[in-house]
A = this chain, B = another copy of it.
């Protein structure tokens, strides 16, 4: 890393030793997990570069944007509408939450029995190792699960400008009104932060930018329907992860470039793994950078992941927003409609999610489903039982996994995953 970055990190108030340690671990993991893969699309070089510069060049860009007067907004959830952020001339970035950090300090603020993702968000803040969080002018929390909802009460003591968005639990008309009124409140907060009034033009442009990004990642997903799969689950997951960090236009272009390459590969009957490699759909909790544990286990055990039914995956990326409205109000309604379709496990009932899993199994020609649950994530762990029952009733093999970010259970998980894959072959 250049000295230039070092002074940038110092200015952001990062802890130099801890941050160096994090980058060391991250670099090593990336090397061992990503760069060790075979038959990667050439276009993944872009993502290799993004990852090598994830706390470097991208942060420099954000800080340059800030110098030019642009605001940076951080988020932990796919319910925070990037369309509204972009329309007000601000940038939305996903915040760090995929690795354990400062666990002892975190457990003074949160019960030990809190899911790894929430603990991680606190760890990155307390450990002073997340330059995205330190760059943010506003951090947006949201009342999704109980864990996050209550954790934001404490996170509010740690970060300066925490904004909390309320969310419905039921897809009723009142639920829709709540989402709408919360998006209007968010619009006002973002406009206040940026000093920029959102117009129909700026909102429509923002919708188009985000639609293009979703459309590119959706195109990538669709190409994974091919048999043999043209890209590894690890690489596709990485693209889905970078979705939350990167400049939207550049991201769209980079993903589309990979898609062009994959289309050729498919036409040539090429694949990243041998023909007849068992195909797995992963469903459940989000996997944030650098949480590559499950796909690493699966794809070194003789199977390929062909889809992620997850917030970092299809749940976050599908469903474009209708951009045909002509007023801010109409466009906002379209945004509400788009997000109201998100089939997060916080909703009850949540029939849509099971239907979507079944659709994905079919569309991606999956031989089985691994339900990925973070320990203590009540919504997804509770849904995993009826999901498994329904899959098994349709003779779709399902393996429910409950884990965290530690590497201690990798051996045990690998044994279970191998046995599951054996059953699919």
Q: Given A146-B379, A150-B378, A376-B113, check contact A166 B169 (CB 8 Å).
A: yes
8 Å CB contact of A149 from B113, B114, B348: B348
A154 beta carbon closer than 8 Å to chain B: yes
Which of chain B's residues have a CB closer than 8 A to the CB of A348?
Answer: 143, 149-150, 152-153, 164
How many Å from the CB of A203 to the closest CB on chain B?
A: 23
A381 beta carbon closer than 8 Å to chain B: yes
A386 touches B153 (CB 8 A): yes
How far apart are the CA atoms of A111 and B373 in the complex, in Å?
11
Interface range on chain A (Cβ under 8 Å from partner): 35 or more
Can you identify 23 A-B contacts, CB atoms within 8 angstroms? A108-B385, A111-B382, A111-B385, A111-B402, A113-B375, A113-B378, A114-B382, A143-B170, A145-B146, A145-B378, A146-B346, A146-B382, A149-B169, A149-B348, A150-B345, A150-B379, A153-B382, A166-B170, A166-B174, A167-B169, A177-B177, A178-B178, A376-B378
8 Å CB contact of A181 from B174, B349, B384: B174
How far apart are the CA atoms of A149 and B381 in the complex, in Å?
13
How far apart are the CA atoms of A147 and B145 in the complex, in Å?
10
How far apart are the CA atoms of A350 and B349 in the complex, in Å?
26
State which residues 170-193 of A face B: CB under 8 Å.
170, 172, 174-175, 177-178, 181-182
A158 beta carbon closer than 8 Å to chain B: no
A383 beta carbon closer than 8 Å to chain B: yes
Q: Which partner residue on chain B sits nearest A157 by CB separation?
A: B386
A159 beta carbon closer than 8 Å to chain B: no
State which residues 66-115 of A face B: CB under 8 Å.
108-111, 113-114
A151 beta carbon closer than 8 Å to chain B: yes
Which of chain B's residues have a CB closer than 8 A to the CB of A108?
Answer: 385
How far apart are the CA atoms of A172 and B349 in the complex, in Å?
24
Q: Given A150-B348, A174-B166, A346-B146, check contact A378 B109 (CB 8 Å).
A: no
A146 touches B111 (CB 8 A): no
A383 touches B113 (CB 8 A): no
Which of chain B's residues have a CB closer than 8 A to the CB of A177?
Answer: 174, 177
Q: Given A166-B174, A378-B378, check contact A150 B383 (CB 8 Å).
A: yes
Q: A111-B381, A154-B382 are in contact. List 16 more A-B contacts (CB 8 A).
A: A109-B385, A111-B378, A111-B384, A111-B402, A113-B378, A143-B348, A147-B382, A149-B169, A149-B348, A150-B378, A153-B348, A154-B385, A154-B386, A177-B177, A376-B376, A376-B378
How far apart are the CA atoms of A384 and B154 in the complex, in Å?
12
How many Å from the CB of A349 to the closest CB on chain B?
A: 6
Q: Given A111-B382, A153-B386, check contact A143 B169 (CB 8 Å).
A: yes
How many Å from the CB of A409 to the closest CB on chain B?
A: 15
How far apart are the CA atoms of A142 and B177 in the complex, in Å?
20
Which of chain B's residues have a CB closer than 8 A to the CB of A178?
Answer: 174, 178
Q: Given A109-B385, A175-B166, A177-B174, check contact A147 B378 (CB 8 Å).
A: yes
